[in-house]
A and B are shown apart, each in its own frame.
Chain A
Amino acid sequence: KNEVEQSPQNLTAQEGEFITINCSYSVGISALHWLQQHPGGGIVSLFMLSSGKKKHGRLIATINIQEKHSSLHITASHPRDSAVYICAVSYNTDKLIFGTGTRLQVFP
């Protein structure tokens, strides 16, 4: 069992829809990262958070430490949001544990 579980594995949406991607982890963490991997393969960091909520444009990331759960929301989704979204956690070590990713496709 992966220490980091993401759901759903695959997600399709129509342009404009509100998207939620979930990430659960098993023990206490020092930080949680959300990453985006585009079809071309490059990976970019979207958010790093250890508590509360962060917002950047149409993207919102939240974390609930007690429930060991984080969500990534995309408001007013657009085809350019189509990508794989990856959750990763740090257990206060030098190593990150990655989820297997959520593949999002947004259709016009």
Chain B
Amino acid sequence: NAGVTQTPKFQVLKTGQSMTLQCAQDMNHEYMSWYRQDPGMGLRLIHYSVGAGITDQGEVPNGYNVSRSTTEDFPLRLLSAAPSQTSVYFCASSYSRTGNSPLHFGNGTRLTVT
């Protein structure tokens, strides 16, 4: 099993550019989520989904967009990149909602916005 596949691993953007971070899982997990990790701070939830067609905002959703058209895929879109979005991004999935089952993480995307 591939688990959670996240691409790209590294990305450099200029301010104002847009891009999509891809996330796919092959475990038939209902719950998928996106986090950002910044120095000195815990992982913070950006957006999450409890099933295909259902998404909701997390703690820091501004500047990001998501969709969940299939169970497998949960892309994260940066609409107009800003330097404050320089961070490491992680996608994660779990069989059910986070309190009840372990999380499986992708390998992360290091994004730099200049």
Contact = CB atoms under 8 A, between A and B. Distances in A.
Interface residues of A, number: 27
Contacts, number: 67
A101 B40 CA distance: 9
A42 B102 contact: no
B102 A95 contact: no
A100 B97 contact: no
A95 B59 contact: yes
Contacts of B102: 33, 45, 48
A85 interface: no
A97 B59 CA distance: 10
A88 B102 CA distance: 11
Interface string B43-66: 111001010000010110000000
B10 to A, nearest CB: 11
Nearest to A43: B105
B40 A98 contact: no
A33 to B, nearest CB: 7
B42 A48 contact: no
B42 A97 contact: yes
A8 to B, nearest CB: 15
Contacts of A44: 105
Contacts of B90: 43
B86 interface: no
B88 to A, nearest CB: 7
Interface string A59-93: 00000000000000000000000000010101111
A98 B44 contact: yes
B42 A42 contact: no
23 contacts: A2-B42, A4-B42, A29-B99, A31-B98, A31-B100, A33-B102, A41-B108, A43-B90, A43-B92, A43-B108, A45-B102, A48-B101, A86-B43, A88-B42, A88-B43, A90-B98, A90-B99, A92-B99, A95-B59, A96-B43, A97-B42, A98-B42, A98-B44
